[in-house]
Chains A and B, each alone.
Chain A
Amino acid sequence: MRRNLMRYLDGEMEPESVISFENHLLDCGWCRATCARLREGQRLARQLPSPRPARDRWDELEAALEHDPSSPAPHQPAKSALRRHWAMATMSVIALLMAALLITSNRGSSEIQTANVTDEADLEKFQAVSILDLPRNTMPHVVTEGYVSELRLDPDGDMTFRLVEDINQPDPFIVCEIIKPISIPPPAIGSRVRVYGVSRYDGQPDRQWYEVHPVLNIEVVRR
C-alpha cells in the first residue's frame, strides 16, 4: 500500500487507477494519515538544494586524461608527424601515378589499365603491417593481409572493400579503396588477400577509419 501511496503522490500511478485509489483514501484513515506524512516528506525533499560546481575544471580533467593511458586516446599521431605522414603519402601517390601514366603512355594506351606494382624490388618498399597494428603504423607504403568482408561501389566509381583479420568477426577491420584512375580487379568477398597501398587515416565526426587508400596491388592468398 505504501508503494501505491508513493506512486500516487509522485504522479506515477496509472491514470485508470487514480480514481479508485482516491476513493479508497476516503474510506481508509490509516492511508490518509500515511499519505499526509509522505506528502510532508515530499514537500521537504522538493526543497533540496541543487548546487552547481564552483568552477569549470575541464582543463584539469583534460590534463589528467593526457597522462592516463587507459582513457580513450586520440587515434592520431602527433600533428607534426601526421603532417609529415600526409606529405610523404601524397608525394608517393603522385609519384606512383606519374610512373603509371608514363608506363601507359609508353605502351601507347590512352587509358591506365593497371597500376599493379609487380616489380619485386618495388614490393620490398611496402611495410608489412597487420590490420590490428595499422593504427600504430607510420610508414606510408604498407602491405597488409586479411579477409574481404564487404565490397561496395561508391557513387563516384571507386571500389571499396573491408579487410578483417577474422572472417567471423567484424572487428578489427580496415577499409581499402581502389580509386580512379587505378584499375584493379576487386577481390571476391570471403577471399584472403594481400593488399599493397598507401596507409591513411580517415577521421570524421561519425567514424575514425584506418585505410589503405589508394590500393596499388592485390594478391589473392586464398579464394
Chain B
Amino acid sequence: MNSQKDHFPSDERTLVTSAQGGDRAALREIYDRHRDSVHRVIFYWLNEPLLVEDMLQTVFLKIYRALPRFRFEAALSTWIYRIALNECLNHNQRRRMDQVPLDAILGGGEELDSTESIDDQHARREVSRILQQAVMDLPPRLRAVVVLKYVEGLSYDEIARVLECAPGTVASRLSRALSRMEEQLRPLKNLL
C-alpha cells in the first residue's frame, strides 16, 4: 500500500494536528465532515435508529481516542472508515442481530403481484427497507464492499485501502455480493 504521507492535503493535516492538540473546534470540524459517512456505514449494520445513533457516538469517541496515534499514513477518511467498520464488525460478534431475514419478507419465493397498488411513499420506504435488508443479509466482508462502493462511492483503490486488501479482492467480493443480491431479490425484480 502506498504511503499517503506526502499527499496529505495541507488543510486536513492542519485540522488533524489541531485536533490532536485537543482543539475542540477542530474536533467538531472532523465530526461535521465525517458524521454522515460514518452514519451511513453504521446504518447498514444496525437495524434500530437509536442503536445507530448510539453507535455513531461510540465510533467518534473511538476516533478521538485514537487520534493522537494517527500518523498521516492514510487519508483521514480511510482511517475513519476503518474504525467505523471495525466497530461494526465487533458489534456483530458481541450480539446476535435481531433482524428479519429477507426470506421471511419474500415468503416462499413465488412471484409477488406487482400490479397491487400501494401508496408511493410507502412503496419507496418498502423498497429501501428491502434493499437495506438484502445488504444486511450479506456476510460482513461482502456487505462492507457494497456499502463502501455503492453508498459511499469509493473507488476500488480507496476501498482496498480501507479494508487493507488488494483491489482485485474488492472486485471479487463485489461480484459475489451483487450475485447474491440479484438472486435473492429476483422475485421482486418488477418492484425494485
Residues of A participating in the B interface, judged by any CB pair closer than 8 Å: 2-7, 10, 12, 37-38, 40-42, 44-54, 56-58, 60-62, 64-65, 68, 70-76, 203, 205-208
B96 proximity list for chain A (CB < 8 A): none
- Taking a contact as CB atoms under 8 Å apart, the answer to whether B27 and A72 are in contact is yes
> Which of B24, B40, B128, B135 contacts A62, CB < 8 Å?
B24
Judge if B178 is at the interface, Cβ distance under 8 Å: yes
Judge if B43 is at the interface, Cβ distance under 8 Å: yes
* Cα A48 to Cα B181 with chains together (Å): 12
Question: Would A53 and B178 be within 8 Å (CB), given that A61-B60, A74-B22, A206-B17 are in contact?
Answer: no
Question: Would A54 and B65 be within 8 Å (CB), given that A10-B149, A48-B150, A206-B14 are in contact?
Answer: no
1/0 per residue, CB under 8 A from A, across B154-192: the answer is 011000000000011001101111111111010001001
- Taking a contact as CB atoms under 8 Å apart, the answer to whether B174 and A37 are in contact is no
Residues of B participating in the A interface, judged by any CB pair closer than 8 Å: 14, 17-24, 27-28, 31-32, 35-36, 39-40, 43-44, 49, 53, 56-57, 60-61, 64-65, 67-68, 127-128, 131-132, 134-135, 146-147, 149-151, 155-156, 167-168, 171-172, 174-183, 185, 189, 192
- Taking a contact as CB atoms under 8 Å apart, the answer to whether B150 and A49 are in contact is no
Question: Would A72 and B21 be within 8 Å (CB), given that A48-B132, A50-B151, A65-B64 are in contact?
Answer: yes
- Taking a contact as CB atoms under 8 Å apart, the answer to whether B127 and A57 are in contact is no
A-B contact pairs, 7 of them (CB 8 A): A10-B149, A41-B177, A45-B131, A47-B131, A58-B28, A61-B60, A208-B23
Beta-carbon nearest neighbor of A56 in chain B: B35
- Taking a contact as CB atoms under 8 Å apart, the answer to whether B17 and A44 are in contact is no
- Taking a contact as CB atoms under 8 Å apart, the answer to whether B149 and A45 are in contact is yes
B44 proximity list for chain A (CB < 8 A): 48
Instruction: Count A/B pairs, Cβ under 8 Å.
Output: 146
B27 proximity list for chain A (CB < 8 A): 62, 65, 72
Whole-angstrom distance from the CB of A211 to the nearest CB of chain B? 15
User: Is chain B's binding surface mostly helix, strand, loop or mixed?
Assistant: helix
A6 proximity list for chain B (CB < 8 A): 171-172, 174-175, 178
- Taking a contact as CB atoms under 8 Å apart, the answer to whether B57 and A61 are in contact is yes
Beta-carbon nearest neighbor of B40 in chain A: A50
* Cα A12 to Cα B40 with chains together (Å): 23
- Taking a contact as CB atoms under 8 Å apart, the answer to whether B61 and A68 are in contact is yes
Whole-angstrom distance from the CB of B84 to the nearest CB of chain A? 13
- Taking a contact as CB atoms under 8 Å apart, the answer to whether A64 and B146 are in contact is no
* Cα A208 to Cα B131 with chains together (Å): 48
With A38-B178, A38-B182, A74-B22 known, 13 other A-B pairs at CB within 8 A are: A2-B172, A3-B171, A6-B175, A40-B189, A41-B178, A44-B134, A48-B131, A50-B151, A52-B39, A65-B61, A65-B64, A68-B64, A206-B14
- Taking a contact as CB atoms under 8 Å apart, the answer to whether B24 and A74 are in contact is yes
Whole-angstrom distance from the CB of B35 to the nearest CB of chain A? 6
- Taking a contact as CB atoms under 8 Å apart, the answer to whether B61 and A41 are in contact is no
Q: Quick one: which of A5, A7, A42, A53 has the most chain B CB within 10 A?
A: A53
Question: Would A51 and B40 be within 8 Å (CB), given that A40-B182, A45-B150, A64-B61 are in contact?
Answer: yes
- Taking a contact as CB atoms under 8 Å apart, the answer to whether A54 and B23 are in contact is no
Beta-carbon nearest neighbor of A64 in chain B: B61
Beta-carbon nearest neighbor of B134 in chain A: A44
Beta-carbon nearest neighbor of B132 in chain A: A49
